[in-house]
Structure 1
């Protein structure tokens, strides 16, 4: 399921494959803290709980979930850091 067209470029890649909840969300927060406002973070996860967790986190933050994709139990997110 893709919410938006998937961006082909991004500023930072975070691969949390193999990590279980809550680590994908925690590492996503840490990676966003290192970026400048407006930069795009791509997150890859294999934990099904990340589908809910990351979307709820972004909805309650200044960040923007540009796109999300769930293909073959690999979850990908493109998050633009808020300013």
Structure 2
């Protein structure tokens, strides 16, 4: 599943991520695209607090965009 959170500012990327993960089965993967500079710190903290696993962080696609891959707990 993919969530495009580009153009959204804190806290919306995390709120949308939380909603997407809630609709997924355990072990499913969610790919999140975000361009909010705080997104990496926020997603890392969200995963620590909720038990979801942050599998990967990559730059791109595009300038200022990061891709996060999470595994649903």
Does 1:79 find its partner at 2:73?
no
Task: With the length of structure 2 as denominator, give the TM-score of the two structures.
Answer: 0.91
CA-atom RMSD in angstroms: 0.9
Whole-angstrom distance in 2 between the partners of 1:51 and 1:38:
21
Where do residues 27-66 of structure 1 align in structure 2 (5 Å cutoff)?
27-66=16-55
- Structure 1: unaligned runs, 5 residues or longer: 1-11
Deviations 1:19-75 (A, max 9, x none): 111100100000000000000000000111111100111012221101012343101
- Give the number of equivalent residue pairs: 71
Task: With the length of structure 1 as denominator, give the TM-score of the two structures.
Answer: 0.81
**Structure 1 runs, 4 residues or longer, greater than 4 Å off:** none
Whole-angstrom distance in 2 between the partners of 1:22 and 1:32:
16
- Structure 2: unaligned runs, 5 residues or longer: none
